[in-house]
Structure 1
Amino acid sequence: MSFDPVQFRPAQIRPDFPALAAGLAHFDSPGGTQTPTPVIEAISRALAEPLANRGHGNQAQRNAETIVVEARAAVADLVAGRPEGVVFGRSATSLTFDFARTLAATWSPGDEVVVSRLDHDANIRPWVLAAEERGAVVRWVDFDPTTAELDPARVADVLTDRTRLVALTAASNLLGTKPDVAAVAAAVHTAGALFWVDGVHYAAHAVVDLAALGCDFFVCSPYKFCGPHHGILVADPALLATLHPAKLLPSADVVPERFELGTLPYELLAGATAAVDYLAQLAPSGESRREHLQASLAAVEQQEDRLTGRLEQALADLGATVYSRARHRTSTLLFDLPGTPAAVVAERLAAVGVNAPAGHFYAIEASRHLGLGDRGAVRVGLAPYTDDDDVDRLVAGLSALS
């Protein structure tokens, strides 16, 4: 089904974001979006009403229980998963570290783990460190720096009967590249390994369907899609039941609670539910929240694609070197302007109210593989509230530097 982008226009929602009143043009959304009022109010309401540790004995306990149940249901709708498989944590990074330790407990010396240079370091270093501790072998998969593409065949080529886990991003936070995750999943499962997908950048720019992706584990972060700062992992509850993390003795041992170390941040979970609901009403179509999300996110993606086309043309006119060249990618562009260091470009743009930072953004292996070293380049990314005026301001700022 196709969606007419006229169903959604940024002007309809910009008043919902109090931070936009400061007058800045935000192209820093790959590092985190601004927060709409309904999410802010949901967080505030959770803190203002009676709240205690989860339970059913009194209203404060029931409020906490309701928040958790509703948050798991909202996330399940967002990714087409099951609420019983939704795990909450401090961040996607901390969840990956925690699960890396748990999964590595089953590895033996000589087992193999596969990581890619396209990824954020949060989906590389936890696996590398876990492998080192267990005497496992780390196998690397490179992307093509000239096209920013990662060929699934490169993953298949390094798989053996000793491969225990493959970690790959669904969308590069640095380049926007969206690898063929489903093709990789098929190869990984043929080899009998587990597939861990970092969806932090992907979930902000695509309709997530876990079955279509074919991953065993999927992590994301609500603050990338208008929600609060925490992490989410989603997996098949049956798979989670086979894993036994280190935990406190009296902590619940049921799934998914056995993976949630300590008291959950109930107010942030309330915010995550509100963020999902907010996304669902941007351009709704259908009956269920899942259907509303599919329609809304597809409409937003079309709008972002249009604005990205404008930016690409402007960068070409300015003679910029654009590193985001993959055929399938998000509305994120990494580039350099001729004759002006990336850090200077970001500084000059900030001085005229345009937030477009420079760096490697923790995708340090990708930056080095592109030949950019640890300095990185300028990165711009779009969000649902990005409009044509923002693009005009960015282009004007860049033109003043050329």
Structure 2
Amino acid sequence: MTAPSLQASHAPDVVSLGCRLNLAESETIRTLLGEADTVVVNSCAVTNEAVKQTRQAIRRARRARPGAQLIVTGCAAQLDPQTFAAMPEVDRVIGNAEKLSPSAWKSAEPVIVSDVMALAETAQHLSASFSAHAKAFVEVQNGCDHRCTFCAIPFGRGNSRSAPAGAVVERIAALVDAGHHEIVLTGVDLTSYGADLPGTQTLGTLVERIMKHVPALPRLRLSSLDSIEIDDRLFTLMTQEPRVMPHVHLSLQAGDDMILKRMKRRHNRAEAVRIVERLKAARPEIAIGADLIAGFPTEDEAMAANTLALIDDCDIVHGHIFPYSPREGTPAARMPQLPRETVKARAAALRATSAARRDRWLESLVGTRQNVLVERSGTRGHGESYAEIHFEPAPGLSPVIGISITGIEGDHLLGEPA
């Protein structure tokens, strides 16, 4: 979650922290700023560490751009606007309900934060292209109707709401016409897409429409999915449609049934293992990613061991490990807490096991041929299964190329244009 460096000029800049949804929204914010000498910190509040990193990004931004107007938005700003408004570095605070509204950025009000729970629809994005990125992120859903006991994000994002499928298809077609070779569908609770729309729309029906109406799109990637909501239509597309990338990131959070129940998750351990087994059986090259929380309140050694074992049982090669962080106002924050040393140790164990699993997976790719989306540096990119691949650029390199993998250095694959 390291913030990017700021531009040295007086051009507007947006520092985006946290999720892919924030990154997508930051592109829209960038178009709303015009030529103003402004820096925006689009904040994250998924953990206490994320909030701390937001404050650090604000201070770095002020040091780098002392004369710019500095505005904070995003989930941390939505949840605690007065704290950020009181920071001497901050000029204005804009909430999640307003951050895609042109009027909010034209206003001089120091704090514009309304009740995000009252939102009933997603904002329409205004940016025409993700000029700084090889891939484009498209928000199709926002908010969450579930109330996991550890999570404050629904109170920062509001209830679940979906973008109309026709608008999504039109936007993706425009991004493909602008030269983007990969589209990533983003949302807070992506697999809840369509429940608030007329008819029986789902994420699967949306992906079907995209595949049908944007035939020029080479690669479609899905961001985090709730495993229990992968229905038959979506499963078929993920395993049989070659333009849907073989990379599935699951919101698993834990591998112990009692902890999952106390988290108020809607799946159990066996269901998580079973969906991965089905996915891998139908499309063996699928790479599994997952979010896992270490040291949830009441977690004992046996429960922690069950989560640790889930990395191998679900073949998790893209592990996102989070030490549990008590978020004020959440039920989990009122549960018996573990010592921070225990939480950190369990997070370290999960990271080590995850890294070892990833290394073995990368080793298995040596000698294979991969289709790589070249990113803006021209020396790196990601394969279809999201393996990060480094190579020497060739003259006239196409944004999507095939390479033969020849070796591994650390977590990075090395290759050469084939």
- With CA pairs under 8 Å and 6+ residues apart, which has the higher RCO, 1 or 2? 1
Structure number having the greater helix percentage? 1
TM-score with structure 2 length normalisation? 0.25
More strand by share: 2
TM-score, normalised to structure 1, is 0.26
